[in-house]
Every structure is written in C-alpha cells, then in structure tokens.
Homo-oligomer: A and B are copies of this chain.
Amino acid sequence: MSRTKTSIKHTVSQLLSTADIRTEGDRPWDLRVHHGGFYDRLVASGSLGLGESYVEGWWDCDDLSGFFHRLLQADLHERARSLSPLAYASAAIRAKILNPQHASRVFRSGGAVHYNLGNDFYRSMLDSNLMYSCGYWKEAESLDQAQTDKMDLICKKLSLKPGMRVLEIGCGWGGFLKHAVTRYGVRGLGVTISKEQAALARERCDGIDAEVRLMDYRNLIHSNERYDRIVSIGMFEHVGPRNYRTFMKVARHCLKPDGLFLLHTIGGNRSDAYADPWFDRYIFPDSVIPSIQQIGRSIEGLFRMEDWHNFGPDYDKTLMAWHSNFERSWAEHRDQLGDEFYRKWRYYLQSCAGAFRARHIHLWQLVLSPQGIPGGYQCVR
C-alpha cells in the first residue's frame, strides 16, 4: 500500500474513531472493511461513496443504525463535507439550475418511482393499513398500534367531525383517508401521483365517502372546492424548496377560512436546497428535507402556526419495525428484487433510523390555520 493510501486510511479511521466507530472493530456498530478501495472512495465521493460501496459489499456492519447514530451525532457528516466537497457541490448546483420537482417532471420523479415499486412489497414491510410514514409510539407497543395511534392523533389534532370535507394531499394507499372516513364520519378526497397507490387506495375506499384522484397537487389550485380540513402526511419531503410556497398557496386556496391544515413532515436542522446524494440517486429522487426557516418563509401571509410538535425519535422505532418486517419477509421478494436491492434497502432503513436517533432529522407535525383559531388552539399529544 502506498504512503498516500495508508495516510487516507489513517485519516478516515481517525475521523471515525472520534465517533467511537472502528474500521476493523467487533462491536455491532463497527465497520468490517472487505475492500482496500473503500477509503479512497469515501474521500472521493462522500456519502454517495459510502452508500454505493456498502451496496456493492465492500464493507459490512451488523448494526448500521447504530453506526449512523454515532456518525451523525458526532457531526462527522459536516466534517466529511470538507473531505469530499464534489458530491455535495454537484447536488447543490443541480438544485439551483433545475427545479427537480417541477410539475412537468413529476410523474417520473421520486413519488412515482419509489411508490410504484410494488404494493406487495410494501404490504410485507408496513403495518396492516399500509402507512408509509412515521407512527406515534407514545402508548403503542406494535407497529400496527403506532400507525393507528398516529392516524387518531391527526384526527384529534384536526378535531374531525361528521360531515366535514377533508382533503389529503399525497394520500398514499388511502390508509388515512379510510380511517378518517370510517371512524370520524368525514367526506374525503385524496390526491396522489402514484398509479399503483391510487389503484389500491380506490379499492380500499370502495363504498365509503372517499374519492381518490391521480393528480399533481398543484392542479388543485384550479379547484372550486373548499375543505374544512387538509392533511398532508409524509409528502412535503417530495415538494422541494422551490415549490414550498406554491404548495402552501394551494393548501390555502383549498381551505375554508376557519379550517385547519395539518402538515406531517420530516424536518432538518439546516436549510438545504438538495438531498443527501445517495438518497437522491437510489431511494427518493428529488426529495429534500425542509427546515424551520424554509417552512416559516413558505407560510408567511398564508397561515398562522398553531402548534409544532416534534416526535422524531418515533421514526427511529418505525423504521426499525419496517426493517424487521423487511428482513423477515425477504425470502418472498429475493427472486424478484435481487441481492443488491437487499443491501440498498437495509442501508436506507437503518441509516434513516440512525439519523432520527441522532436527532439529525425530526418528525414534525404542524397545525396551521388561515386566520388563527379564535381563543387559541388546544394542543393534542
């Protein structure tokens, strides 16, 4: 090994050791490096190289979530940016020049690609209601309960009453819509850009007062309908900073003046215009995690913020439950999806779990109102 290679390996190992991670250790969160090119690749392409080299089997780790928890808690991702600025720069430039979430591109963007992976696959990973967003674990002991409790939390925060018209922006497989309509007696409309999601959502909402439309949320601006309540669960991450204002204008347009809008989204500690490059390429193309500043700017003059709830650590539990379901049912999907997918998916679920555990990212529920609730909004937790 050349002196340069030795020096790079030393630098990376030193950096990781400040987060209590060893490159050749035997604790669950330590790395076992199989390929000598790992260190160069990490330095050359940062988080993209870290993920790609994992998927290709250059290194292993029994507890990837523990690895990422330590990595992010020690802010190594910030220090690593100086080691591999190129990967970050290219994502930043792309976000500045393009509007990756522009309406003309949206049916081939993140939402559609990711969620069209196959409903059967998600059935084996998610809870029985197919909720692909953070559960609420305050009182729950199972994923099913956590997802039901999350839906009830949202319904209570919105104080749903029979007969109310509810719009869901990004309705997924219709789990929330069905819950709200059957348990709270509301009349629902859900919109999604995923054909597979729309088809299953329609099937599940058959015979109840819920409609599902395959449409871009931006086209709601042409709608004459006004809703008592609006909810958007885990969809704002696909909107993109250049469209936050448009998203909020659409929501404001569709909401009655005395209505409520609940926004459920992952949130980040910093204002970024772009996503982690590995996630952008392999998991959620064109998705960006919003910051407080970005959300604050997007609602000015449109909404008043009634309540802002952060229960990010519940996403750690949710992701670990999904991971456990994924591992358990992998044999059913192996032939169709292949071994590379297995490593990719494992990396995705566990690195996200670690990021929530490190409080690097959060789960936010905001309750917004156009004019402010007279006398104030009563928090529900």
Query: Residues of A at under 8 Å CB distance from B?
Result: 73, 269-271, 291-297, 299-301, 304-314, 357-360, 362, 369, 371-377, 379, 381
CB distance from A318 to the nearest CB of B (A): 13
Contacts of A270 in B (CB 8 A): 300-301
CB distance from A260 to the nearest CB of B (A): 13
Determine if A269 and B310 form an interchain contact, defined as CB atoms under 8 angstroms apart.
Answer: no
Determine if B376 and A379 form an interchain contact, defined as CB atoms under 8 angstroms apart.
Answer: no
Contacts of A314 in B (CB 8 A): 376
Please give the count of copies of this chain that the complex contains: 2
Most buried by B among A294, A304, A373: A304
Contacts of A362 in B (CB 8 A): 304-305
Contacts of A311 in B (CB 8 A): 376
Q: Enumerate 28 A-B pairs (CB-CB under 8 Å) in ascending A order.
A: A73-B371, A269-B300, A269-B301, A270-B300, A270-B301, A271-B297, A292-B292, A292-B295, A292-B296, A292-B305, A293-B293, A293-B296, A293-B297, A293-B300, A304-B359, A304-B362, A306-B310, A307-B309, A308-B310, A310-B377, A312-B372, A312-B376, A314-B376, A357-B374, A359-B371, A359-B373, A379-B381, A381-B381
Determine if A271 and B292 form an interchain contact, defined as CB atoms under 8 angstroms apart.
Answer: no
Complex: chain B residue closest to A270, CB-CB:
B300
Cα A294 to Cα B375 with chains together (Å):
25
CB distance from A272 to the nearest CB of B (A): 10
Cα A360 to Cα B307 with chains together (Å):
15
Contacts of A374 in B (CB 8 A): 313, 357, 359
Complex: chain B residue closest to A300, CB-CB:
B270
Which of B304, B305, B310, B369 sits near A307, CB closer than 8 Å? B310
Cα A304 to Cα B291 with chains together (Å):
11
Contacts of A300 in B (CB 8 A): 269-271, 291-293
Contacts of A379 in B (CB 8 A): 309, 379, 381
Contacts of A358 in B (CB 8 A): 372
Cα A362 to Cα B293 with chains together (Å):
18
Cα A144 to Cα B240 with chains together (Å):
47
Contacts of A376 in B (CB 8 A): 310-314
CB distance from A370 to the nearest CB of B (A): 10
Cα A297 to Cα B291 with chains together (Å):
9
Complex: chain B residue closest to A307, CB-CB:
B310
Complex: chain B residue closest to A315, CB-CB:
B376
Determine if A296 and B291 form an interchain contact, defined as CB atoms under 8 angstroms apart.
Answer: yes
Cα A311 to Cα B307 with chains together (Å):
9
Contacts of A294 in B (CB 8 A): 296
Contact A304 B269, CB 8 Å, known A295-B292, A359-B372: yes
